[in-house]
Structure 1
C-alpha cells in the first residue's frame, strides 16, 4: 500500500501540486489544496486515505469505500446520492462538491486513471519541484 507523504519543511507553497491535480483530472478545481497555517507557513492538505475513514462510515449508499487491497478510499459517482455526509464527516476538510457537477464529490484517487500498475503515480508527487510531496510504501 502507498501513501502520500508531505514534508512541510520543504514546501514553498508554489501550488504546483494543486495545478498538477487540476491538469491530471481535467478539472477546474483541485482535489488537494495548500493553506497557510498559524505560523504563516505553507500547509499542503491531501486526502489521507484514512485507516478508519469517516467518509465511508457516513456514506449511506456505499459510494465511498475503503479498498482492502490498495488501502485507498475510492468514490463511485454512480452510487452517490449527493447527500454530502462524506464532506461533513471528513475530519481534514478535504472532500468537497464538484464546482461544475454539484452532484459529484471531488476526492483524490491517487491518479489511478494515470497508471496501469499497482503502484500509483499521483501527478502532485511527480510535479512537486521541491520533492515536498513523496510517495511511500506502508
Structure 2
C-alpha cells in the first residue's frame, strides 16, 4: 500500500514545458491532447506575468490531474471507469469501461486536466512513440494524467519528473516518512489547488 504524491517546487520551475513534452511522448498522446499544462499567475496566455509594470512577477504553475485522495470524479462515474487504485492511491481511467458520459469531467473542479476523444485519436507520425505498455487510446473516452502508471508498475517514476531540467518535480510515497516528497511537504511551505472543494489533492506546490 502506498499514497503516491508529487511536490512541485515553484521557485525552481522555469516554465520550459519539458514536463508536458515528456508526458506527451511517453504516453503517446494524440494530436491536440495534453495531460500536463504550464500556466502562469498573470493570465491565460503563455508566459503572462502578474502585476503592472514595473512591479511584475512571473510564477509558473504546472497543472494536471491532482490524483485526489477524495476524488469527485470517482464518485460520479456510473460504470466504475474512473477509479482510485487501492495500492497506490493513483486515480486511473479504464478506457474499456468508459461510456463517454463525461460525468467525471463535469465533477472535477480542476478545469482542463481531462480530455475527451471525440474522434478516433490521430497522430502526426505514423508509428507509436513512448512506452510499449501503455493502454491504447480510444475514441469516445475520457483521458488524463496517470502519474505514468505503467512506469510505477516497473518501479520507475513519472516521465515528467525524470526529464525536468530544473529538478523542480519530486515524487514518492507520502506515507513513507523517508521519501523525498514526504520530507519536502513536511519541511517546506506549500499550496494546493482548490482545497475548498474537499478533494484533498495529492499534488503540492512548494512556495
Same fold (TM over 0.5): yes
- Which stretch of structure 1 is more off in the superposition, 107-116 or 121-130? 107-116
Using the TM superposition, give the Cα deviation of residue 116 of structure 1 relative to its aligned residue in structure 2, in angstroms.
3.9
Is 1:81 the equivalent of 2:99? yes
- 1:13-66 deviation line (CA, Å, top 9, x unaligned): 100000000100112322111111133421100211101101101111110011
Cα gap change, 1:81 to 1:110, in 2 (>3 Å)? same
Distance 1:30 1:86 in 2: 17
Distance 1:51 1:10 in 2: 26
- Which stretch of structure 1 is more off in the superposition, 19-28 or 89-98? 89-98
Contact 1:110 1:120 in 2 (8 A): no
What runs of 5+ residues in structure 2 fail to find an aligned partner? 43-49, 51-57, 122-137, 175-207
Cα gap change, 1:60 to 1:116, in 2 (>3 Å)? closer
Distance 2:85 2:153 in 1: 17
1:127 to 163, 181, 202: 163
Distance 1:51 1:120 in 2: 22
2:61 to 20, 28, 43: 43
- Which stretch of structure 1 is more off in the superposition, 37-46 or 47-56? 37-46
Contact 1:125 1:133 in 2 (8 A): yes
Paired residue for 1:34?
A: 38
What runs of 5+ residues in structure 1 fail to find an aligned partner? none
Q: SS at the partner of 1:4? A: strand
Distance 2:71 2:152 in 1: 24
- Aligned CA RMSD, in angstroms, stands at 1.7
- In the TM superposition, structure 1's runs of 4+ consecutive aligned residues that sit over 6 Å from their partners are none
Q: TM-score, normalised by structure 2?
A: 0.61
Q: TM-score, normalised by structure 1?
A: 0.89
Contact 1:65 1:74 in 2 (8 A): yes
Using the TM superposition, give the Cα deviation of residue 70 of structure 1 relative to its aligned residue in structure 2, in angstroms.
0.7
- Which stretch of structure 1 is more off in the superposition, 99-108 or 127-136? 99-108
Using the TM superposition, give the Cα deviation of residue 3 of structure 1 relative to its aligned residue in structure 2, in angstroms.
1.0
The count of residues paired between Structure 1 and Structure 2 equals: 137
Cα gap change, 1:109 to 1:135, in 2 (>3 Å)? same
Is 1:114 the equivalent of 2:151? yes
- Which stretch of structure 1 is more off in the superposition, 104-113 or 72-81? 104-113
Using the TM superposition, give the Cα deviation of residue 73 of structure 1 relative to its aligned residue in structure 2, in angstroms.
0.7
Distance 1:35 1:102 in 2: 28
